[in-house]
Amino acid sequence: MKAIRIKEFGGPEAMSYEDIDAPSYEASDVLVKMEASGVNYIDTYQRTGLYPVELPYTLGLEGAGIVEQVGEQVTQFSIGDRVAFCGIPGSYAEYAKIPEDRLVPLPDEVTAKEGAALMLQGMTVHYLTQSTYPLKQGDRCLIHAAAGGVGLLLIQIAKLMGAYVIGTVSTEEKAALAKEAGADDIILYTQADFEKEVAQLTDGKGVNVVYDSVGKTTFEQSINCLSPLGYMVLFGNASGPVTEFNPADLAQKGSLFLTRPSLFHYIADQESLRKRSQQVFQWVKEKNLKVRLEHLFSLADVQEAHRSLEGRKTTGKVLLIH
Ligand code: NDP
């Protein structure tokens, strides 16, 4: 089968489009014929070695497709079922081998593209807004990279929860998309000082929570945007990792909370995986959540997909279509 592999860490050129053997599946595994594979920022961290993986490595942590084969102990899925998954490596390929308990059924109302787009980023939005800092009516929140894959989904759910949402983006085009998704106010953080703008927009009160996936270039100022007892939710490193921080600042700046969460701990058991994915699909069915699917690439064009994502050229979800 065709697959995208890395044999050493590096830039997009480190990824090669290769013929490899289809994965051999165990008794409790399901072999999925991929229809769409999600491209996520974490794939770039694995590719560069920021998050080390064992090499050679087949990239891709998310996808949707059709059950092709089932192991003899599999009871919850049958050949032909529509399914989706995330968190298991190897989705940049024609087939993926997924343990039965890490797979979820795709409802009829959710397409394979939507499924592949929602598993990782949709469930991230679910845990960020429902568990890490459960948003409530009237909360004020700041969302960086608001027109990105996670960003556009996060705005919609923050609005659904009744929060006032400020989004940051780098261009006017992205500002328009974040507005369309429901953001109340937008800051072009590449042109304006977002810390000052947030203070102005909130009459000096600050926000209750910052969802910061940009990291290095925003972290320090994000902390300064918080109200006392506010939550700094640092969940990504699109501009590079945050490496220096003095915990005493949290006290001095208002007894703040700092967390650095990862989706995979919030879906560690099958029950949370099922519950979170079902809720995300329910939001789609109720039309409370829409996915922007503009950036679609073939598997062979994966290098271009990564370059676009890292070059800040994409909005919404990036997918590889089989
Ligand atoms: P995005 O579509 O959001 O793309 C990244 C965006 O970050 C860019 O479009 C850009 O938006 C912004 N950005 C700011 N500075 C930079 C920079 N120096 N280089 C590149 N981009 C920059 O990606 P995803 O939706 O896939 O992921 C968003 C973030 O969420 C990532 O950091 C990812 O790691 C994190 N994440 C974390 C999870 C967790 O559980 N911890 C789970 C899922 C995602 P703009 O041009 O508007 O600034």
Q: Look at strands 207-212 and 226-234 and give their pairing.
A: parallel
* Pocket lining: 239 vs ligand 1, CB cutoff 6 Å: yes
Secondary structure (3-state) at 11: coil
Residue 298: inside a domain = yes
Task: Return the ligand 1 atom nearest residue 266 CA.
Answer: 40
Among the three residues 208, 242, 260, which one is the final residue of a domain in this structure? 260
Whose alpha carbon is nearest atom 43 of ligand 1? 121
Residues 102 and 36 in one domain: yes
Output the six-digit token pair for 169: 């983006």
* Pocket lining: 218 vs ligand 1, CB cutoff 6 Å: no
Question: In a mutational test of the pocket of ligand 1, which residue from 37, 39, 40, 265 has the highest number of ligand atoms less than 8 Å from its CB?
Answer: 40
Q: Quick one: pLDDT at residue 51?
A: 95
Whose alpha carbon is nearest atom 19 of ligand 1? 239
The residue with tokens 């967390």 is 259
Q: Quick one: pLDDT at residue 110?
A: 97
Residue 144: inside a domain = yes
Ligand 1 mean position, distance from CA 214 (Å): 6
Give the pLDDT confidence of 132-185 residue by residue, as tens digits: 999 999 999 999 999 999 999 999 999 999 999 999 999 999 999 999 999 999
Give the pLDDT confidence of 201-216 residue by residue, as tens digits: 999 999 999 999 999 9
One-character DSSP codes across 82-130: EEEEESSS--SBSEEEEEGGGEEEPPTTS-HHHHHHHHHHHHHHHHIII
Whose alpha carbon is nearest atom 4 of ligand 1? 148
pLDDT average, residue stretch 288-307? 97
Residues 10 and 42 in one domain: yes
* Pocket lining: 38 vs ligand 1, CB cutoff 6 Å: no
Cβ neighbours of residue 162 closer than 8 Å, sequence gap 6 or more: 135, 136, 137, 138, 139
Among the three residues 243, 260, 277, which one is the final residue of a domain in this structure? 260
Q: Quick one: pLDDT at residue 92?
A: 98
Output the six-digit token pair for 7: 């044999």
Residues 35 and 16 in one domain: yes
Cβ neighbours of residue 40 closer than 8 Å, sequence gap 6 or more: 61, 62, 120, 121, 149
Q: What is the pTM of this model?
A: 0.98
The separation between CA 148 and the C-alpha centre of its own chain, rounded to angstroms, equals 9
Ligand 1 mean position, distance from CA 138 (Å): 26
Residues 169 and 238 in one domain: yes
Percent of the chain with pLDDT over 90: 99
CA distance 314 to 149: 8
Whose alpha carbon is nearest atom 18 of ligand 1? 239
The residue with tokens 């650095």 is 260
Residues 34 and 89 in one domain: yes
CA distance 289 to 64: 18
CATH number for the domain that contains residue 241: 3.40.50.720
Percent of the chain with pLDDT over 70: 100
* Pocket lining: 213 vs ligand 1, CB cutoff 6 Å: yes
| Residue 34: pLDDT band with limits 50, 70, 90 | very high
Ligand 1 mean position, distance from CA 148 (Å): 6
Task: Return the ligand 1 atom nearest residue 264 CA.
Answer: 40
Residues 79 and 145 in one domain: no
Phi, psi torsion values for 127, nearest 5 degrees: -70, -35
Give the pLDDT confidence of 103-116 residue by residue, as tens digits: 999 999 999 999 99
Single-letter residue type at 53: V
* Among 233, 316, 302, 299, residue whose Cα is nearest residue 94: 299
pLDDT average, residue stretch 291-298? 96
Residues 14 and 83 in one domain: yes
Residue 163: inside a domain = yes
Among the three residues 235, 260, 285, which one is the final residue of a domain in this structure? 260
Output the six-digit token pair for 147: 């027109």
One-character DSSP codes across 274-322: HHHHHHHHHHHHTTS----EEEEEEGGGHHHHHHHHHTT---SEEEEE-
Residue 161: inside a domain = yes
Q: Quick one: pLDDT at residue 300?
A: 98
Compute CA distances 99 → 22, 65, 71, 120, 275, whole Å. Answer: 15, 14, 9, 17, 18
With beta carbons less than 8 A apart as the criterion, state whether 229 and 256 touch.
yes
Residue 75: inside a domain = yes
Residues 49 and 158 in one domain: no
Residues 286 and 305 in one domain: yes
Residue 129: inside a domain = no
Q: Give the domain extent around 295.
A: 2-120+267-321
* Pocket lining: 235 vs ligand 1, CB cutoff 6 Å: yes
Residues 115 and 19 in one domain: yes
CATH number for the domain that contains residue 24: 3.90.180.10
Ligand 1 mean position, distance from CA 28 (Å): 34
With beta carbons less than 8 A apart as the criterion, state whether 317 and 26 touch.
no
Please list the helix, strand and coil fractions of the chain in percent, rounded to the nearest 5, in that order: 35, 30, 40
Number of domains the chain contains? 2
Give the pLDDT confidence of 45-100 residue by residue, as tens digits: 999 999 999 999 999 999 999 999 999 999 999 999 999 999 999 999 999 999 99
Cβ neighbours of residue 288 closer than 8 Å, sequence gap 6 or more: 156, 157, 160
Residue 132: inside a domain = no
Residue 126: inside a domain = no
* Pocket lining: 153 vs ligand 1, CB cutoff 6 Å: no
Residues 83 and 56 in one domain: yes
Compute CA distances 130 → 138, 149, 233, 255, whole Å. Answer: 15, 18, 13, 22
Task: Return the ligand 1 atom nearest residue 190 CA.
Answer: 48
Residues 97 and 144 in one domain: no
pLDDT average, residue stretch 220-243? 97
Compute CA distances 172 → 186, 237, 277, whole Å. Answer: 10, 23, 32
Q: Quick one: pLDDT at residue 211?
A: 98
pLDDT average, residue stretch 125-129? 98
Ligand 1 mean position, distance from CA 318 (Å): 12
